[in-house]
Structure 1
């Protein structure tokens, strides 16, 4: 994409971005994440896509909301990649699929179950949705340094929020319940709506991709006890800092991406 061409959905130009992007789904999270960068400033907003820009160790980093679900997330990944972004990190919230999850525990996602429709427009469902290993390691290191509970594992990415939360009222109730239990028994740790799109579209476009989400425990989902997103945002920005340091060969201010200790509550 030329430097002066406006991206159709994001309303950004190539000069507005750098090589790194943080991708919350919620526009209300953009400014809070950007506040953890240096020299943060608002850039653009169109529809569900809001973008702020800042720097980490002098490198430009954008924070762009994707909206909910695969279709709008794929739009954001497509247009950011066309503008020159080469590393994208989803930052979001999810419901836990495990009974032992601590409310607010982070999930560093290594892969995603493609139980949605968007990525099937890119690659057959047999193609795995997996994270870039260096992003996974950067996220593990950042979570370990922050001292927050976290685990690594697979997300269930879906299209229908209420199909998961209220399956009993759907015509496909038995089918939905059986599939969800299958994913859980297979080891999936959380259910969300964007990670598969980031991983698969990123793979097609040659983008380095990762995802970290803050999980609501099953009890919290029932009571509405929302945990703080502060550790999530701080971990994501610190992971970008580690990647910038590794990419530029300057690791003076960042510990190695591989944590010395095993993940807290890791699986």
Structure 2
């Protein structure tokens, strides 16, 4: 193979500037670096470990469970870099924590969406694997997020998420001076008819890379935009953060149950209640 301009196997990762000792096994992945403060507010303790470009990383604990967070910036290219470099220092589980636009009419601003699978409308994952490869959330991560949302009493929806490469034209919004991309006027109706739940910009790439590498990934997003009714509000930003934090603790308990039972995958017969 041709020589690399940077060593991707260096102990300290090139973009994130983290090493193995800086991160826990499970990492929450918000896009916005400022959302890191919202997330760590739910933890028992934390320490900032790195901040380079859009990538800001903190590690701490919640109810005795080690947990990390790394911001990815906007979009799948930078999110894929985060997954790549975190995987190289030993991280095994990734949970996107973000905001989204709701597609279905029964969904309200402030609700949570827990992704079960993704429409790969972003181009990043196409550079890893053929386009008909599914972007599937890990069932253990989905189960933990659902259990967390139930325990916290938050309204949530589960289903397919579309990940786009554009906030404006690619999501059916007008561009500069009212520009409309071909087919944008029908996009939301077509997605709604196919029972797609929401639109955001990173989940499908994160889940695809995790599947390719044999890792776990999922996503929980707070609805900011009602794409059917036109309402937009940033209320409920902390709900996704709190849900993902509790889900990380539940995943650790699920892993403990698996070890006790001598099985590789958690299932409903391994109750977390006893």
TM range (shorter): 0.7 to 0.9
- Aligned residue in 2 for 1:189: 197
Name the CA distance, whole Å, in 1 between partners of 2:129 and 2:249: 31
Structure 2-normalised TM-score? Answer: 0.85
Q: 1:166 aligns with which of 173, 176, 187?
A: 173
Structure 1 residue runs of 4 or more that deviate by more than 4 Å after TM superposition = 1-4
1:217-256 to 2 correspondences below 5 Å: 217-218=225-226, 222-249=230-257
Q: 1:176 aligns with which of 181, 184, 189?
A: 184
Structure 1-normalised TM-score? Answer: 0.87
Query: Alpha-carbon deviation of 1:180?
Result: 4.2
Name the CA distance, whole Å, in 2 between partners of 1:178 and 1:221: 15
- Aligned residue in 2 for 1:213: 221
Which secondary structure state, in structure 1, belongs to the residue aligned with residue 107 of structure 2? coil
Query: Alpha-carbon deviation of 1:186?
Result: 0.5
Name the CA distance, whole Å, in 2 between partners of 1:125 and 1:211: 20
The count of residues paired between Structure 1 and Structure 2 equals 253
Name the CA distance, whole Å, in 1 between partners of 2:144 and 2:156: 13
Q: Is the 8 A contact 2:173 2:180 kept in 1?
A: no
Query: Alpha-carbon deviation of 1:219?
Result: 7.3
Query: Alpha-carbon deviation of 1:183?
Result: 2.2
Name the CA distance, whole Å, in 2 between partners of 1:199 and 1:158: 14
Query: Alpha-carbon deviation of 1:58?
Result: 3.4
Distance 1:200 1:219, change over 3 A: closer
Name the CA distance, whole Å, in 2 between partners of 1:143 and 1:3: 37
Q: Is the 8 A contact 2:117 2:159 kept in 1?
A: yes
Name the CA distance, whole Å, in 2 between partners of 1:2 and 1:32: 31
CA-based RMSD of the aligned residues comes to 2.5
Instruction: Kindly indicate which of the two structures has a greater share of residues assigned to helix.
Output: 1
Q: 2:33 aligns with which of 27, 30, 43?
A: 27
